Structure 1
Amino acid sequence: MYRILVGVETDEDRAMAQASMIESLPGASDEVTAILVHVFQDNPEGRSTPQLDGVRHAAAAFDEHGIDYEYYEASGEPAPELIAAADELDVDMLCLSGRKRSPTGKVVFGSVTQSVILGTDRPVVTVSPDE
């Protein structure tokens, strides 16, 4: 059994790219549990992870393909919280979908994906939605 942390934002296209990658794994419907994780930085509406558009679409795709999944949420800075969740949940891999940014944009705004890759010793797969 493989446990994969799926760091999901509200963006539906990125979430679907992540779901598609996981669905493509050999034996996904029998051997994989996807853990849909969202890190709230600001949540004035008080929503929970299953209420987010990206998460709902990924969960629907997993339902359609018979892939087990769980929800997990945290609050704080995304990169350290994703790394902590991966450790706490003892996942086998992380699946992230980054934004396209210029090198300057990464310096100014940071890159969650880059920070996670550099901050964990677990395998990280990154995907991007089809253009």
Structure 2
Amino acid sequence: MYRILVGLDTDVERATTQASTIESMPGAADEITAILAHVFQENPEGRSVQQLDGVRHVAASFDERGVDYEYYEASGEPAPELIAAADETDADMICLSGRKRTPTGKVIFGSVTQSVILGTDRPVVTVSPEGEP
């Protein structure tokens, strides 16, 4: 069994691209378990990971294609929490979706994807939403 931590935010398009990437992997329906993870920074509504649109779209897609999945949620800063989630769930790989930012934007706002890549020894696959280079 191969375990993939899928770091999801609230963007449905990015989540859909992540799902498609995992579904296209050899043995997806038989050998992969995806861990659908979201890190809440602010959650005044008290929502759970299962209530997020992106997560629901991925779960529905995985249901249709027979890919096993679990849910994982945490609170705090996304990059360190995703790395901790990968450790805690014994993930073999991490799947993230980057967003297009200028170099200045990365300096000012940081990059979760870059921080995860630099902060883990696990393989990290990054995907771009349809239409983004």
> TM-score interval w.r.t. the shorter chain?
over 0.9
Mapped to 1, the partners of 2:2 and 2:57 lie a distance apart of: 21
Q: CA offset at residue 43 of structure 1?
A: 0.1
Match of 1:115 in 2: 115
TM-score (norm 2): 0.98
How do residues 1-131 of structure 1 correspond to structure 2 at under 5 angstroms? 1-131=1-131
Secondary structure class of the residue paired with 2:9: coil
Mapped to 2, the partners of 1:9 and 1:53 lie a distance apart of: 9
Q: CA offset at residue 95 of structure 1?
A: 0.1
Mapped to 2, the partners of 1:90 and 1:3 lie a distance apart of: 7
TM-score (norm 1): 0.99
Q: CA offset at residue 98 of structure 1?
A: 1.1
**Which ranges of 4 or more aligned residues in structure 1 deviate by more than 2 Å?**
none
Structure 2, unmatched stretches of 5+, are: none
CA RMSD of aligned residues (A): 0.4
Secondary structure class of the residue paired with 1:129: coil
Amino acid at match of 2:81: E
Mapped to 1, the partners of 2:18 and 2:91 lie a distance apart of: 16
Amino acid at match of 2:124: V
CA deviation string 1:64-114 (max 9, x = no partner):
100000000000000000000001111000000011100110000000000
Structure 1, unmatched stretches of 5+, are: none
Secondary structure class of the residue paired with 2:98: coil
